[in-house]
Amino acid sequence: MENKILGLHHVTAIASNAKVNLDFYTNVLGMRLVKKTVNFDDPSTYHFYFGDEIGTPGTILTFFPWADVRQGVNGSGMATHIGYSVPQGSSSFWKDRLTQFNVPIKEEEVFGEKTISLKDPDGLNLQFIETNNEDLREAWTTGAITQEVATKGFHNVTLTLRQTEPTLKVLTDILGYGFQKQDGDKMRLVTDAIETANIIDIHESPMAGSGLNAAGTNHHIAFRVKNDDILMEFHEKVLSAGLHITPKIDRDYFFSLYFREPGGVLFELATDNPGFMRDESRAELGTNLKLPKQYEAMRSEIEEVLPDLS
């Protein structure tokens, strides 16, 4: 099973105000800040990782918060919705809590699952889903958000595409997903290699406009592999399919490959190793500013220009 794609690894999105982003995901939604670092290409910008206690793959939502970024627009060729698994019976808690923090919600049913749809402060589409299958993952909890209601990690990601078939071929032939069911203009794909964070939904919208990748939109989605060897097996599979893919890139906490699938969505493949505890203990995760080694000599200058989080 380990030489397969193991569902989602992480999802990366764009935010504007770093402090507002940090407060919303930790204080309102109760996620743990697992890692506080900077953008590899722009060290004047934070890179936040939110997840469970140790940043288990399949729980990690990451952000690039650029203070001067314009508002993004969801559209074709983008991952437009991020679905979180929440325990059965927790919807009433989340309705009350989100209302308390003046977060508008919409209650609906998606693929037969009770769903609360909401937006984060930048307009990123989130969904809290009472999944039909029991999710046994241990959640990160706070004083206000207990194990009985806390988010467990990802359930699904929704891709919006003008045409389904080319993307479907990549997901099934290369990444090992299989068709599960159809609901109107939405198609659900699942991998049986893992029991959670294993769903990709495709919303086919032939008339959808092009998206603008900026604040409140997803930058890319990352699929999980066990280690470097398996990562490079998929490198060859993607190349053999005639798609361009990057060389292996060291992201400090995982190794990555990137390619854009035919529908326009940026896909990443990311390893479990070495994980977020390579440079911080379990107790200290997210409490220190960790810099990629190429920027460590510039720490003072970087700390001076990063936004204030107090």
pLDDT 10s digits, 138-155: 999 999 999 999 999 999
H-helix or E-strand spanning residue 231:
helix 228-240
The residue type found at 71 is Q
As a whole number of angstroms, the distance between CA 111 and CA 108 comes to 10
Burial letters 199-224, b for 16+ CB under 10 A, else e: bbbbbbbeebeebebbbbbbbbbbbb
The residue type found at 108 is E
Q: Which two tokens stand for residue 81?
A: 């919705």
Q: Please indicate whether residue 218 or residue 2 has the higher confidence score (pLDDT).
A: 218
Is the pLDDT reported for residue 161 higher than 90?
yes
The residue type found at 207 is M
pLDDT tens digit string along 199-245? 999 999 999 999 999 999 999 999 999 999 999 999 999 999 999 99
Q: What is the mean pLDDT of residues 244-263?
A: 98
Residue among 280, 271, 196 nearest 227 (CA): 271
Is the pLDDT reported for residue 103 higher than 90?
yes
- CA distances, 78 to each of 60, 162, 178, 195, 212 (Å): 18, 10, 20, 25, 9
Is 163:204 a contact under the CB 8 Å cutoff?
A: yes
pTM, two decimals, is 0.97
Is the pLDDT reported for residue 97 higher than 90?
yes
pLDDT tens digit string along 40-77? 999 999 999 999 999 999 999 999 999 999 999 999 99
Distance between alpha carbon 77 and the CA centroid of its chain, in Å?
A: 16
Is 77:264 a contact under the CB 8 Å cutoff?
A: yes
Distance between alpha carbon 294 and the CA centroid of its chain, in Å?
A: 26
As a whole number of angstroms, the distance between CA 90 and CA 88 comes to 6
Q: What is the pLDDT of residue 268?
A: 98
Q: What share of the chain is helix, strand, coil (3-state, %, to 5)?
A: 20, 35, 45
Query: Mean of the per-residue pLDDT values for the chain?
Result: 97
Q: What is the band of 276 on the pLDDT scale with cuts at 50, 70, 90?
A: very high
Q: What is the pLDDT of residue 156?
A: 98
As a whole number of angstroms, the distance between CA 11 and CA 20 comes to 19
Is 51:256 a contact under the CB 8 Å cutoff?
A: no
Question: What is the length of the chain?
Answer: 310
Is 51:32 a contact under the CB 8 Å cutoff?
A: yes
Q: Compute φ and ψ for 50, nearest 5 degrees.
A: -110, 140
Query: Domains of the chain (ranges plus CATH)?
Result: 8-305 (3.10.180.10)
Is 98:118 a contact under the CB 8 Å cutoff?
A: yes
Q: What is the pLDDT of residue 183?
A: 92
